């Protein structure tokens, strides 16, 4: 094998193992194409790769202190290597930083591959990653560059830690070309995140979803399962109190969850009874008056939702601890169903992109929760 | 008979499993068998892990005596080996297993079934179940009738108000037209059609369902889906395995009953049916049954003219020497049971007039694969006359791979980069595993969930089963009247010579899947 061939194979191997190569923006597509072409030609089965892409994923990592999204950017960054297991995408990682040094350019671009072994254990399924590092005013170039780099004819989604900031030209330049925006209300530093999310939902052509809302899907299913079956009318009518013991680091999700419950049970607004206490007239449950209580000082690492009837008896309890959801269907506690969803932000993002069915219900939950 | 619905659950709106049933007990007859440990309980466990299973209690029933704990232990072994979610989550399993019970039962004894009904009532009470019952008949077909009859005697076939009693029946559903009709008659004396769920696990496979999505959710394929553009269709169901431990069953069944009458004809009917008015169970099944009813019957004067029967001789599979079928344990030394069959079918309707559908299925073939391949007609005018142009000669192929490597491949002609005009076929492939990066749920997961929620779309209706047997039975009768041996083929090849000739005489050849 010639030294040129050896170098080419080394490059391919490094590429498919995730090494980043700096490439000028105008050469990104050509460089990616030639690397994949070379990878496809390799005779070595160990390096056999399949390039797959269902989404353009634009992930914004805010590295400028004090900006919306900065607090959650490390966690978002740590999730990126896990993405290909759940979703085939071209991933555009947009890193915004302060303080370019005199010898640094305000915009740099890199390419790399993020590969996982396919189900056959041989072929690697790879997503390609393009990192755009924008320093200081370099962010003004980002929207146009992203528009040029998205794979045509497939949808694009923006993933941010927190919420897209209101007055940020770079983000504003991206928002209107997207099919989906994935936010995280619990990581937002906005003073009124629910209202901001509503505004975004109403103003954008893109669908918007929240990672906390996605993470709470097992809880919503568990709540629904408590009321499935023949006795549903009686069980609903006897309901008087719902107490949600939430985790302190998920305040917005807990609020949203109660908004969802209230929206499911009633078409009327809630009445505030005190701090974290509300009443609803349950128009879908015999107009019973139901008290909703949010307790954010519950057990460490445990979320619990308790349903209590008019006699003070528990109709059911739902508990989530480290991803395991238990449903106890009666007060005696002898009918328990458990499900286990190993927490994974990457999987949650894949879920957020896979269905828009729940959007209307998220909108309703946001609307109700904002008024609580 | 099935009872009506109840008040809608306000918390269900917008959730993915909007049709989920209420708390239900699942009663598995034949619970000590392989299917329960390898497929059914792993599927239920996987649904529980994914949070898609409603609250269930499971009651295993079979002839053997066994304690609840012994039954649970045998199931745990099956789950550990066959569930999608491995290793087993012990905490989750212990909760799941607490709702699993076992009761020995004599299927044809009404008193024994009444005892089972009493046990079921106690289990429903212990686990706060509402009284919904899903019975799964994973037993030898000879006891399907007696079990259903005794369910009726024990009062288990008639659900209370707002509840359900449904029965899933495993294949084979009859061994010919007469037995299928008799079985339908027998079970309909106790159950209404909407309580009966005849299972064909092929219909639970993602790619089989994707056939419908591909055809009816995309605008570009359906206009081509007819005799104007399709030259012929090939459906292959190939297995590497021989008869393994199933020789007693397979000697009686053969590949025509084991694969073609159910799986391949189901795939054929989904591939060829007209668009249904809705995706409701009866709308889909009405269209499927029309396809089977439109199959041109086997000619009375030449019953085997379009049928090739084969049996594997010794050979080599994936580097291992394998014996001939007649040398397998439990097989008669002069057995004429077919291990391979190839058929040329015609669907006599407006859409498919004149388009041959070639079906083949066999054991000990070179690789395990199930696929449907639509071979399109060549372009009407060969513009590139002097070019090396295999696509221009043979036409494009759209292949839908059902297993393994589920996906879709379309072959198109492309110019080979060079100064000369050379056209080569290239394949555009979509593979589920690469694109979605997640495991498809097992077929039994989907089907169990559908049965729990009362959706019969992916189950076979009584008239459909009878229509398939009406087509298949004359072939068996012709073989029974024949004194000829099946055509032998070497294990590890794609079947006997006659199968190749079946297409060659039409100027075609089998594709290599």
The band of A124, judged by pLDDT with boundaries at 50, 70 and 90, is low
| 8 Å CB contact between B393 and B387 | no
* Residue B403 Cα, gap to closest chain A Cα (Å): 13
Q: What is the mean pLDDT of residues A219-231?
A: 80
The pLDDT value given to residue B231: 97
Considering only alpha carbons, which residue of chain A is nearest residue B123?
Answer: A335
Percent of chain A exceeding pLDDT 70 equals 82
Task: Spell out a b/e string for A178-216, using b for 16 or more CB atoms within 10 Å of the CB, else e.
Answer: bbbbbbbbbbbbbeebbebbbebbeeeebbbbbbbbbbb
More confident residue, B41 or A89: B41
* Cβ contact, residue pair B96, A285, below 8 Å: no
What are the distances in angstroms from CA B461 to CA A220, B163, B467?
A: 35, 22, 10
Tell me, what's the pLDDT at B504?
93
pLDDT at residue B3 tops 50? no
Q: What are the tokens at B312?
A: 């594997």
Q: Name beta bridge partners: A126.
A: A51, A115
Neighbouring residues of A30: CB distance < 8 A, sequence distance ≥ 6: none
Residues above pLDDT 90, as percent of chain B: 65
Residues B95, B88: Cα–Cα separation, whole Å: 12
Task: Evaluate the omega torsion of the peptide bond into residue B11 and state whether it is cis, within 30 degrees of 0.
Answer: no
How many residues in chain B? 513
Q: What is the DSSP string of B364-389?
A: S-SS-EEEEEEEEPPPSS-S-TTSEE
DSSP states along A325-336: EEEE-STT---E
CB contact under 8 A, A118 and B433: yes
Q: Is B457 exposed, middle or buried (0-12, 13-18, 19+ CB in 10 A)?
A: middle
Over A250-272, what HEC string results? CHHHHHHHHHHHHHHHCCCCCEE
Residue with tokens 């599979």: B317
Instruction: DSSP letter for B295, please.
Output: B
The chain-wide mean pLDDT, for chain B, equals: 89
pLDDT band for position A208 (50/70/90)?
confident
Q: Ranked by mean pLDDT, which of A86-100, A176-190, B248-262 comes out on top?
A: B248-262
Average pLDDT over residues B208-216: 88
Cβ-nearest to A228 among B9, B49, B89: B9
Question: Do the Cβ atoms of A55 and A154 come closer than 8 Å?
Answer: yes
Interchain proximity A224–B130, CB inside 8 Å: no
- Would you state the pLDDT for residue B274? 96
Q: Contact, A182 vs A349, CB < 8 A?
A: yes
Q: Report the range out of A74-88, A138-152, B31-45 with the highest average pLDDT.
A: B31-45
Q: Do A232 and B9 touch (CB under 8 A)?
A: yes
Contacts of B23 in chain A (CB under 8 A): 228-229, 329, 335
Lowest mean pLDDT among A26-30, A195-199, B336-340, B481-485: A26-30
Q: Where in chain B is the domain with CATH 3.40.50.720?
A: 24-170
Closest partner CB to B130 (pick from A87, A217, A230): A230
Lookup: tokens for B245: 């431990």
Q: Is the dihedral of CA A310, A324, A338, B48 positive or negative?
A: positive
For A286, the closest chain B residue by CA position comes to B7
pLDDT class for A32, splitting at 50, 70, 90? confident
pLDDT tens digits for B419-468?
Answer: 777 777 777 878 776 667 566 788 899 999 999 989 999 999 999 999 99
Is the pLDDT reported for residue A334 higher than 60? no
**Residue A1's pLDDT band (boundaries 50, 70, 90)?**
very low
If you count residue pairs, one on A and one on B, with CB atoms under 8 Å apart, how many are there? 141
pLDDT of amino acid A118: 60
How far is Cα B104 from Cα A97, in angstroms, rounded to an integer? Answer: 70
CB contact under 8 A, A86 and B437: yes
pLDDT of residue B2: 45
Lowest mean pLDDT among A203-207, B73-77, B112-116, B449-453: A203-207
Buried-exposed string B399-425: b where 16+ CB fall within 10 A, e elsewhere = bbbbbebbbbbbbebeeeeeeeeebee
Question: Which residues of chain B neighbour A287 with C-beta distances below 8 Å?
Answer: none
**B508 Cα to chain A: minimum distance (Å):** 32
Written in H, E and C, the secondary structure of A108-143 is: EEEEEEEEEECCCCCCEEEEEEEEEEEEHHHHHHHH
Cβ atoms of residues A330 and B130 within 8 Å: no
Residue A1 CB coordination number (10 Å): 7
Q: Does domain B24-170 have CATH number 3.40.50.720?
A: yes
The CATH class for the domain spanning B204-504 reads alpha beta
Candidates B263, B375, B381, B476; catalytic one: B263
Give the mean model confidence (pLDDT) for residues B291-301.
89
B418 or A198, greater pLDDT:
A198
pLDDT band with cut points at 50, 70 and 90 for residue A283: confident
- Contact flag A229-B23 (C-beta cutoff 8 Å): yes
Q: Give the best residue of B3, B5, B13, B14 to mutate against chain A (max A CB count within 10 A).
A: B14
Q: Whole-angstrom Cα distance, residue A126 to residue B437?
A: 10
ipTM of the complex as predicted: 0.80
Asked if pLDDT for residue A219 goes beyond 70, the answer is yes
In this structure, how many other beta carbons lie within 10 angstroms of the beta carbon of residue B73? 12
Q: B317-352 pLDDT, tens per residue?
A: 877 889 999 999 999 999 999 999 999 999 999 999
B23 vs B228, residue with greater confidence: B228
The mean pLDDT value for B140-148 works out to 94
How far apart (Å, rounded) are the C-alpha atoms in residues B205 and B263?
Answer: 11
Tokens for B18, please give them: 């909007």
User: For residues B70 and A45, which has the higher predicted lDDT (pLDDT)?
Assistant: B70
**CATH code, residues A215-370:** 3.30.360
Residue B479 has a pLDDT of 93
Across the range B305-321, mean pLDDT stands at 89
In this structure, are residues A59 and A80 in contact, taking their beta carbons and an 8 Å threshold?
yes
Measured between beta carbons, the chain A residues lying within 8 angstroms of B98 are: 336
Among B105, B50, B57, B100, which Cα is nearest to B75's? B100
B70 pLDDT exceeds 90? yes
| B375 noted as active-site residue | no
**CA gyration radius for chain B?**
24
Higher pLDDT, B186 or B89: B186
Q: pLDDT value at position B5?
A: 45
Top mean pLDDT of A30-44, A119-133, A227-241, B278-292 is at B278-292
**Stronger pLDDT, A50 or B166, i.e. the higher one:** B166
* More confident call, B14 vs B138: B138
Instruction: Give domain limits for chain A.
Output: 3-178, 215-370
- Residue A50 to residue B131, Cβ atoms within 8 A: no
Are B437 and A329 within 8 A, CB to CB? no
Share the mean pLDDT of chain A.
Answer: 81
Which of the listed ranges A29-33, A132-136, A348-352 does the model predict with the highest average pLDDT? A132-136
| A328 and A316 Cβ atoms separated by less than 8 Å | yes
For residues B292 and B266, the answer to whether their CB atoms sit within 8 Å is no
The full DSSP string for B62-100 is ESS---HHHHHHHHHHHHHHH-SS-S--HHHHHHHHHTE
Q: Tell me what pLDDT residue A45 has.
A: 47
Nearest-neighbour CA in chain B from A151: distance (Å)? 15
Closest CA to A61 of A53, A52, A71: A71
Q: Which region among A294-308, B75-89, B357-371 has the lowest average model confidence (pLDDT)?
A: A294-308
């Amino acid at each position: 094998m010639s030294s040129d061939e050896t170098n080419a194979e080394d490059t391919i191997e490094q590429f498919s193992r995730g090494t980043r190569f700096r490439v000028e923006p105008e050469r990104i597509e050509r460089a990616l194409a030639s690397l994949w072409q070379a990878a496809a030609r390799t005779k070595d089965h160990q390096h056999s790769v399949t390039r797959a892409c269902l989404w353009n994923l634009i992930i914004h990592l805010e590295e400028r202190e004090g900006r919306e999204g900065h607090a959650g950017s490390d966690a978002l960054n740590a999730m990126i290597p896990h993405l290909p297991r759940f979703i085939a995408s071209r991933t555009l990682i947009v890193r915004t930083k302060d303080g370019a040094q005199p010898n640094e350019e305000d915009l740099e671009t890199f390419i790399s591959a993020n590969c996982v072994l396919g189900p056959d254990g041989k072929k690697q399924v790879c997503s390609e990653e393009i990192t755009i590092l924008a320093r200081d005013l370099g962010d003004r170039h980002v929207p146009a560059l992203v528009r040029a780099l998205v794979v045509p004819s497939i949808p694009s989604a923006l993933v941010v830690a927190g919420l897209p900031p209101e007055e940020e030209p770079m983000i504003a330049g991206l928002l209107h070309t997207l099919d989906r925006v994935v936010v995280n209300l619990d990581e937002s530093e906005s003073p009124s995140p629910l209202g901001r999310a509503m505004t975004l939902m109403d103003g954008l052509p893109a669908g918007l979803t929240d990672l906390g809302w996605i993470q709470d899907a097992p809880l919503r299913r568990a709540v629904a399962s408590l009321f499935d079956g023949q006795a549903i009318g009686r069980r609903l009518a006897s309901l008087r109190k719902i107490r949600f013991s939430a985790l302190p680091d998920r305040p917005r999700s807990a609020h949203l969850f109660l908004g969802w419950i209230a929206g499911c049970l009633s078409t009327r607004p809630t009445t505030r009874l005190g701090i974290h206490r509300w009443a609803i007239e349950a128009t879908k449950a015999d107009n019973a008056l139901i008290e909703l209580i949010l307790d954010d000082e519950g057990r460490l690492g445990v979320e619990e939702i308790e349903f209590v009837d008019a006699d003070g008896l528990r109709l059911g309890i739902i508990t989530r601890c480290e991803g395991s959801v238990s449903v106890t269907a009666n007060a005696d506690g002898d009918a328990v169903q458990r499900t286990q969803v190993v927490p994974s932000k990457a999987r949650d993002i894949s879920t957020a992109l896979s269905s828009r069915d729940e959007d209307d219900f998220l909108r309703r939950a946001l609307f109700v929760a904002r008024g609580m | 008979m099935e009872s009506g619905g109840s008040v809608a659950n306000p918390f269900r709106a917008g959730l993915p499993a909007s049709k989920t049933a209420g708390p239900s007990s699942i009663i598995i007859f034949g619970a000590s068998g392989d299917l329960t440990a390898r497929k059914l309980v792993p599927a239920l466990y996987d649904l529980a892990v994914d949070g898609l299973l409603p609250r269930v209690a499971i009651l295993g029933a079979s002839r053997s005596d066994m304690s609840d704990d012994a039954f649970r232990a045998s199931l745990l072994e099956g789950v550990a080996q066959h569930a999608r979610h491995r290793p087993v989550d012990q905490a989750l399993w212990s909760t799941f297993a607490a709702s699993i019970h076992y009761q020995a039962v004599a299927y044809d004894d009404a008193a024994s079934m009444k005892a089972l009904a009493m046990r079921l009532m106690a289990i429903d009470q212990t686990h706060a179940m509402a009284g919904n019952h899903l019975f799964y008949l994973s037993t030898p077909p000879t006891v399907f009738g007696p079990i259903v009859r005794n369910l009726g005697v024990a009062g288990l076939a008639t659900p209370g108000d707002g509840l359900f009693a449904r029965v899933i029946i495993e294949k084979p559903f009859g061994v010919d037209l007469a037995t299928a009709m008799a079985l339908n008659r027998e079970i309909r004396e106790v159950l209404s059609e909407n309580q009966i769920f005849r299972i064909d696990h092929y219909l639970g496979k993602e790619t089989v369902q994707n056939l419908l999505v591909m055809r009816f959710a995309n605008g570009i394929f359906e206009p081509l889906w007819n005799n104007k553009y399709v030259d012929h269709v090939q459906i292959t169901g190939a297995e590497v395995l021989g008869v393994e431990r199933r020789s007693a069953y397979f000697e009686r069944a053969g590949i025509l009953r084991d694969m073609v009458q159910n799986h391949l004809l189901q795939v054929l009917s989904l591939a060829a049916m007209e668009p249904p008015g809705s995706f409701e169970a009866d709308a889909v099944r009405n269209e499927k049954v029309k396809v089977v009813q439109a199959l041109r019957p086997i000619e009375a004067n030449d019953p085997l003219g379009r049928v090739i029967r084969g049996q594997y001789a010794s050979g080599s599979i994936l580097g291992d020497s394998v014996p001939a079928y007649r040398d397998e344990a439990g097989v008669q030394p002069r057995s004429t049971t077919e291990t391979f069959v190839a058929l040329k079918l015609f669907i006599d309707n407006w859409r498919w007039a004149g388009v041959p559908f070639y079906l083949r299925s066999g054991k000990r073939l070179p690789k395990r694969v199930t696929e449907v391949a639509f071979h399109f007609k060549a372009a009407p005018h060969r513009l590139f006359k002097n070019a090396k142009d295999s696509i221009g000669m043979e036409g494009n192929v759209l292949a839908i791979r059902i297993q393994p490597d589920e996906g879709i491949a379309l072959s198109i002609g492309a110019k080979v980069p060079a100064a000369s005009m050379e056209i080569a076929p290239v394949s555009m492939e979509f593979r589920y595993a690469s694109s979605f990066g997640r495991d498809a749920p097992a077929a039994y997961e989907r089907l169990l969930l559908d049965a729990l929620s009362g959706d019969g779309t992916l189950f076979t209706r009584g008239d459909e089963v009878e229509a398939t047997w009406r087509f298949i039975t004359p072939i068996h009768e012709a073989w029974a009247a024949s004194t000829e041996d099946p055509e032998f083929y070497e294990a590890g090849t794609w079947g006997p010579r006659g199968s190749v000739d079946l297409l060659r005489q039409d100027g075609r050849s089998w594709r290599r899947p």
